[in-house]
């Protein structure tokens, strides 16, 4: 069965420090992979996506993620965190059938210290 694991429930970083959020997935084939961000009380905004090709993908707000097939991982990174990055981050794997369903991880809440 498909699944997504985000092992870190909370992460706290200082403003200006680098960030890495972990995501591991279980999927029978090459998946579609996504990172979404959610501010409190809001919907989800797509940060970046991977479908095929270059395994390092760039997204909005200075985020990037790297697909590593051998590790079944799709970790999200940012070289320098801003206070406005404080939010909840969700990794998701997408079906490659007609449903295009997404399976989400449980999320990682990012706190930014001034």
Partner 1 sequence: SQTIHQWPATLVQPVGSPLSLECTVEGTSNPNLYWYRQAAGRGLQLLFYSVGIGQISSEVPQNLSASRPQDRQFILSSKKLLLSDSGFYLCAWRTGAYNEQFFGPGTRLTVL
Q: How many CA atoms lie within 13 A of 52 on its CB side?
A: 3
Binds partner 1 (CB under 8 A): choice among 18, 106, 111, 113: 106
Scanning 17-25, 58-66, 67-75, 104-112 for contacts with partner 1 by CB under 8 A, the matching segment is 104-112
Nearer to partner 1, 14 or 30 (CB): 30
User: What string of DSSP letters covers the chain?
Assistant: --EEE---SEEEEETTS-EEE--EEE-SSPPEEEEEEE-TTS-EEEEEEE-SS-SEEE-GGG-EEEEEGGGTEEEEEESS--GGG-EEEEEEEE-SSTT--EEE---EEEEEE-
104 is an interface residue for partner 1 by CB under 8 A: yes
Task: Tell me the per-residue interface mask from 21 to 50 with partner 1, x by CB under 8 A, - otherwise.
Answer: -----------x-x-x----xxxxxx--x-
Minimum CB–partner distance for residue 76 and partner 1 (Å):
15
Residues 79 and 18: beta-carbon distance below 8 Å:
yes
Binds partner 1 (CB under 8 A): choice among 76, 107, 110, 112: 107
Query: Which residues are at the interface with partner 1 (CB under 8 A)?
Result: 32, 34, 36, 41-46, 49, 51, 90, 94, 98-107
């Amino acid at each position: 069965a498909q699944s997504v694991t985000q092992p870190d429930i909370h992460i706290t970083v200082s403003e200006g420090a680098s960030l890495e959020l972990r995501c591991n997935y279980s999927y029978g084939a090459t998946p579609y992979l996504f990172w979404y961000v959610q501010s409190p009380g809001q919907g989800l905004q797509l940060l970046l996506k991977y479908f095929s090709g270059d395994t390092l993908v760039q997204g909005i707000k200075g985020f990037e993620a790297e697909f590593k097939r051998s590790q079944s991982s799709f970790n999200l990174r940012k070289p320098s965190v801003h206070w406005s990055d404080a939010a909840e981050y969700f990794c998701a794997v997408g079906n490659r059938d007609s449903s295009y369903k997404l399976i989400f991880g449980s999320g990682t809440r990012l706190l930014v210290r001034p």
